[in-house]
A and B are shown apart, each in its own frame.
Chain A
Amino acid sequence: MTNDGFHGQNGVFAYAPAPESRSVVDIAPSYGLFIDGEFREAADGKVFKTLAPASEEVLSEVAQAGAADVDAAVAAARKAFTGWSALPGAERAKYLFRIARVIQERSRELAVLETLDNGKPIKESRDADLPLVAAHFFYYAGWADKLDHAGFGPAPRPVGVAGQVIPWNFPLLMLAWKIAPALACGNTVVLKPAETTPLSALFFADICRQAGLPRGVVNILTGDGATGAELVGHDGIDKVAFTGSTAVGKEIARTVAGTGKRLTLELGGKGANIVFDDAPIDQAVEGIVGGIFFNQGQVCCAGSRLLVQESIHDELLDALKRRLTTLRVGDPLDKNTDVGAINSAEQLARITELAEAGEAEGAERWSAPCELPSNGYWFAPTLFLGVSQAHRVAREEIFGPVLSVLTFRTPDEAVAKANNTPYGLSAGVWTEKGSRILAMAGRLRAGVVWANTFNKFDPTSPFGGYRESGFGREGGRHGLEAYLEH
C-alpha cells in the first residue's frame, strides 16, 4: 500500500480532511428546561453534561427535569391547549409552516449541532436528517386545516396533552415525527429528548420562539429515563408517544394500562435484508451497506440480518467486503466520513458485548480494516458470517454497525427466517423478478418493506411496526390517527 497523496492506505483515493465548520453553531455552556415559553432551571437545580461522542468533549450542561418540572410542563401544556386547540386549523398550519421555514434557514447550524451531539456523519445530518425534519413539518402543516377530510370522521378533535419521549439516534427527526402531527391536530406537547442528545431539542425550543408559537404549546424537558417515566406516568397527559427500545416500550405499556391514555410505540427491530440470486449485485451491496451502516447501524429499522441465497453467497460477500474496505470511519464533521461515532459509552459496551457473544457462539467475525480514533466511542463496521438463527447476533437488536449473515435456498425458507423474530419493523427484498417482490412483500410481517432499495423515509409514508416493534404509524395520513379523537 502506498500513500502518495493519490492512493490512500486501501489503494483508493486519499482524501484530505474536509471538516465542516463548527463556527455555524453557538452552543451555550448551559441550558435550562423549556417550559411555558421560557427557559428555566430544574426545580431541584440538578444538571447533567452532554458529550460529543466522537471526542468525549463536554458540549454543554443541561437541566435534569424532576417530578416538579414535569408537573409544571404538563400544566403549561394543559393551559395552552385551550387556545391552541381552538385556533382555526389554517392558523395552526401557518405556525407549522413558519417552523418548517426556520428549520430550513437554520439547517446547516442544526446539522452541525446534531453531528456534534450524536456523532453521526455530517453527510447524513446535512443530507438526510435535516431535510426530512423540515419536510415533516411542511407536510403536517398542510394537514392542520384539512383534518375533516382525513378519514377520521367529519370533525375529529385533538386528544389533549401529549407526553412524548424520543431516542438519540435521530434526535431532531424523531422530534419532528412527534411534534409536527401533534400540533397540526391541535394538541400541545411535553417532549423529552434522549439523555445523550438533548441539544437539538433545545435549539428547537428557540425555533418555536422565533416562529412566535404561543407559550406552552411545546415544552421540552431534558433528563434521563427517570424523567421519561415521570412524564409517561403523569396523570395530566392524555396521550403517550414513545420511540425507543422494546423493553422500555413494554414497561410504558404496563404503566399506561388502565389509565385510558392513548399510546403509540415505535420500538426495536431485527430487519431482514433478503438477496435473491438474480439481484443486481452492485445495487444490493449498496443497499446492504446503507441498510446496516447508515447512522452506524443505530437505526430501529436497520437491515441487521442479511439473508442471502446460498448460490450467490460467496460472490456477494466478496463484493460486500470489498465495499466495506472503502468506508471511511472517523471524524463525523468531515464531509467525506461514511461512518461516525457510536452515540455513547453505554451503547458501545452493548455492541461490544453482543459482538463478543457472536464470536463465542461460533459465528465468524470480520471487520473492515480501519483505524479508529483514540478518543470517543467507535466500532468498526463488522460482519458475522455463518450465523445460525439461534445465535444472539441473529435474534437480538444490536443497534450498531454489525451485520449478521445467514443463507437460504428457497423463497419459503427466506420468508420463514425473515419472520422468525418477535419484531416486525422492516424488511428488504432484492430481486429482478417483479412477481417475486410482490409475493415476498405480501408474506413478510413487517411495517415497511423496501424492495430493491433500503432505508428510505418520507413524511408522506407511514412508518411503524408489527408485533413487538410497537403499534401505531408515524408519517402520512396514518400518522394523524394517534393525535385525534374520532
Chain B
Amino acid sequence: MSTDRLSVLKTYKLFVGGKFPRSESGRVYEVTDAKGNWLANAPRSSRKDARDAVVAARKAFGGWSGATAYNRGQILYRVAEMLEGRREQFTAEVAAGEGLSKAKAAAQVDAAVDRWVWYAGWSDKIAQVAGGANPVAGPYFNLSTPEPTGVVAVLAPSDSSFLGLVSVLAPVIVTGNTAVVVPSESAPLPALSLGEVLATSDLPGGVVNLLSGSPAEIGRPLAAHQDVNAIDLAATAGDAELARELEVAAADNLKRVLRPEARADWQTTPGTDRMLAFLETKTVWHPMGGLGAGGSSY
C-alpha cells in the first residue's frame, strides 16, 4: 500500500481587523505559478472590502499610534521571529509565485525577515532623526516631533510579492500608521500568509489589513476614500495612466502620495524616505517664564 497522503490545502483568505474573512463579494480568482499551474483561489476583494478595511484601520490607529515606540519595535521584531520559523513555507510560496529557484526565493525571504528587523529598530530612533529642538529667537521652548499621518493605503509592488511587500509595509506601520494593503495581484499568496504571521505577533487587529485582488479595482476607492490619509502607489510602476488617475483622486482630500519608483531596488538596505513619506511634523511652542523677582510669567 502506498503511504501517499492527500495533503490538506489552505484556503487563502483576507486579513481585515485581525480576522480572516472572505471577500464580501464572494469572488475569488485563480492564482497560478509561473508555468500556469493552479496554486490557489485567492479572494478578489471588492470596493466594500476596501471600505471595511479602512474602518478597521481607522479604529486601530489610536491605539497603535499611541503605543510606545519601544512596544511597536518589539512587535515588528516579533514579526521577524515568527517569519524565521516559517521560512520554508514562504520560500515555497515566493518560488512558485515569482517563478524563482528555491535558492533565490529563500534569499528574498531572508532579506524580508532582515528588513523587519531593520525597521523594528527604527521605531524609537526616527523621532530623534526627524525631529528636534528649534532654537527660536525668543523665550520659547520649541520642539518638532514626527507623528504618523494616519491610515495609509499601500498598493504593494507587483513584481516582488514578499520582499517588496515587506519593504513598503514595514516603514508605514513602524511609525504608528495603520495600513490597508493590496498585495501583488499575480502573486498574492505570500502576502495572505503574512497575515497569519502578523496575527500571531501581538500586532493589534486592524493595524495591517490585506486585500488580495486588482490594485486598479481596489486602488480607486482607496485613493478616493475621505478617511484615508496617504497612499503608496508602488503597484502602479509601469502604468503611468493609473498612477495619474489615482493621484488625481487622492487630491480630493489631499492625501500624501508616494509615487512609484521607475526601477525600485528592494534588495538594497533602504533609507528613511519611506518612513518620512508618511509622517507629519508637529511643532509645539511654550513660553519660557522668567524666574526673577517678578515670579513666573508667560
A interface residue numbers (CB < 8 A to B): 135, 151, 153, 246, 249-250, 253-254, 257-258, 260, 265, 267, 280, 283, 422, 437, 441, 446-453, 456, 458, 460-464, 466-468, 470-471, 473, 476-478, 481, 486
Q: Which residues of A contact B244 (CB under 8 A)?
A: 257-258
A448 contacts B254, CB within 8 Å?
Answer: no
Q: Which residues of B contact A481 (CB under 8 A)?
A: 276
A151 contacts B129, CB within 8 Å?
Answer: yes
CA distance A290 to B229 in the complex (A): 31
Separation in Å of the B20 CB from the closest CB of chain A? 32
Given A448-B283, A460-B135: A453 and B298 interface contact (C-beta under 8 Å): yes
Is B259 part of the contact surface with A, judged by Cβ < 8 Å? Answer: yes
A257 contacts B247, CB within 8 Å?
Answer: yes
Chain B interface secondary structure, helix, strand, loop or mixed?
mixed
A458 contacts B282, CB within 8 Å?
Answer: no
Q: Of the 9-residue stretches B75-83, B155-163, B178-186, B284-292, which lies at the interface with chain A?
A: B284-292
Given A283-B298, A466-B149, A471-B256: A257 and B248 interface contact (C-beta under 8 Å): yes
Separation in Å of the A162 CB from the closest CB of chain B? 18
B136 contacts A458, CB within 8 Å?
Answer: yes
Q: Of the 9-residue stretches B1-9, B35-43, B109-117, B137-145, which lies at the interface with chain A?
A: B137-145
Given A453-B140, A476-B134: A467 and B259 interface contact (C-beta under 8 Å): no
Q: Which residues of A contact B132 (CB under 8 A)?
A: 477
CA distance A287 to B92 in the complex (A): 63
Closest to A461 in B: B134
Closest to B149 in A: A466
Is B252 part of the contact surface with A, judged by Cβ < 8 Å? Answer: yes
Known: A153-B271, A257-B257, A448-B282. 6 other contacts (CB 8 A): A250-B254, A253-B250, A280-B298, A453-B286, A466-B149, A478-B144
B254 contacts A458, CB within 8 Å?
Answer: no
A460 contacts B136, CB within 8 Å?
Answer: yes
CA distance A470 to B129 in the complex (A): 23
A453 contacts B285, CB within 8 Å?
Answer: yes
Is B253 part of the contact surface with A, judged by Cβ < 8 Å? Answer: yes
A448 contacts B251, CB within 8 Å?
Answer: no
Q: Which residues of A contact B144 (CB under 8 A)?
A: 461-462, 476, 478
Is B243 part of the contact surface with A, judged by Cβ < 8 Å? Answer: yes
Closest to A284 in B: B298
CA distance A451 to B286 in the complex (A): 5
A253 contacts B253, CB within 8 Å?
Answer: no
A441 contacts B284, CB within 8 Å?
Answer: yes
Is B217 part of the contact surface with A, judged by Cβ < 8 Å? Answer: no
Q: Which residues of A contact B136 (CB under 8 A)?
A: 456, 458, 460-461
Q: Which residues of A contact B293 (CB under 8 A)?
A: none
23 contacts across the A-B interface (CB closer than 8 A): A250-B254, A253-B251, A253-B254, A257-B248, A258-B244, A260-B259, A280-B298, A437-B286, A447-B280, A449-B282, A449-B285, A456-B138, A460-B134, A460-B135, A460-B142, A461-B283, A463-B283, A464-B281, A466-B149, A471-B254, A476-B134, A478-B144, A478-B281
CA distance A62 to B251 in the complex (A): 33
B149 contacts A486, CB within 8 Å?
Answer: no
CA distance A175 to B282 in the complex (A): 23
B259 contacts A450, CB within 8 Å?
Answer: no
CA distance A356 to B282 in the complex (A): 35
A258 contacts B248, CB within 8 Å?
Answer: yes
Closest to A422 in B: B253
B285 contacts A456, CB within 8 Å?
Answer: yes
Q: Which residues of A contact B103 (CB under 8 A)?
A: none
